Every structure is written in structure tokens, then in C-alpha cells.
Amino acid sequence: MDCIFCKIISGEIRSSKVYEDEHILAFMDIQPVREGQTLVIPKRHIDHFSDIPDELATKVFLQSHRIAGSIRNRFQCERVGLVVHGYGVAHAHMVVVPQYDKDDIAFGQTAKIENGQVIFTGRDLRIVPHDELDETARVIREGLSA
């Protein structure tokens, strides 16, 4: 399978893990809108979020909720958004986004208007080095155990 998230789960591609159990994995987004942005995924490859079995979807949401609490406490952001947009990687995932501004959840930094059409692009977002992601993951993990 050529799924980048499946390669992260298998360890073929490095990630900065925030949380892992037998069913789900949470790790830092390498191209975040805001520091602390975390991806929470089922370990089983499922393309559409709506196809996740109820019990597994509950686990994904519950861990996203816990991570959101840690992010809010550790990064002192005004809000934490939970996003399932269904694009990007064809593997169901929830994005946990620290929000300091109302446009953070809209990923406003990655959209532009061209000829009256909204075009989404990640070109302007910095790819964060793994050492920085590892440190951010550590901070969030500490918040989970607090």
C-alpha cells in the first residue's frame, strides 16, 4: 500500500509520536498551521472517516479530545479545533489544531483567491524539522499524563 500514514504506522517513515495504542496513533503534523498541530489516525487503513466503525471512531475522537486539552493547557491557545476535512491523505484522520485566531481552523494561511476561486495550497507552510516536532510531541505527551 502506498499510503504515507500506513508507512508512518509501520515505522517505515519517521514521526514524532504524541500517543499510540493498539488501535490509534497520534503524531505531529510536519507542516502545521500552528505549533502543536497533531494528527490522530486509526492504525487500520480506512479511507473515509465516515467508514470508521463506531467503536474505533469513538477512540479516535476521545484521544483527539484529550490531546486538545493538553495542547490548550501547554500552549495557552484561545481554542483548539478538531477537523476532519477528508483531503490530503487518503487515510481517515482527525487534525487537532491550536487556535490563536479564528482563521486558524480555516487553514487561512494555506488558501488564496485566484480569479475569484479559492485555491488551497500548503506551499507557504514551513516543514518543521523532526527535532522541533519531537520536542513539541514531548510537551503534549506530558500534558496527557498530568
- Domain-embedded: residue 140: no
Question: Residue 111 — pLDDT band, cuts 50, 70, 90?
Answer: low
pLDDT in the model for residue 51: 97
pLDDT at 123 over 60: no
- Domain-embedded: residue 33: yes
Name the residue with cell 483531503.
Answer: 87
- Domain-embedded: residue 143: no
pLDDT at 79 over 70: yes
pLDDT in the model for residue 146: 72
- Domain-embedded: residue 31: yes
Which one-letter amino acid corresponds to residue 53? P
**Spacing of C-alpha 139 from chain mean position:** 15
- Domain-embedded: residue 69: yes
Instruction: Report the pLDDT averaged over residues 5-28.
Output: 98
Mean pLDDT of the chain: 89
pLDDT tens track for 80-92: 999 997 788 999 9
Q: Are 49 and 67 in contact (CB under 8 A)?
A: no
pLDDT in the model for residue 115: 75
- Domain-embedded: residue 118: yes
Instruction: Report the pLDDT averaged over residues 30-53.
Output: 95
Distance, CA of 5 to CA of 7 (rounded, Å): 5
23, 45, 85, 93: which is the annotated catalytic residue?
93
Question: Residue 112 — pLDDT band, cuts 50, 70, 90?
Answer: low
Beta bridge partners of 108: none
Which of 67-76, 102-111, 132-141 shows the lowest per-residue confidence on average (mean pLDDT)?
A: 102-111
Domain count, the chain: 1
pLDDT in the model for residue 118: 60
Active site includes 65? no
- Domain-embedded: residue 144: no
Instruction: Report the pLDDT averaged over residues 120-142.
Output: 85
- CA within 13 Å, CB half, 21: 8
pLDDT in the model for residue 4: 96
CATH of the domain at 15: 3.30.428.10
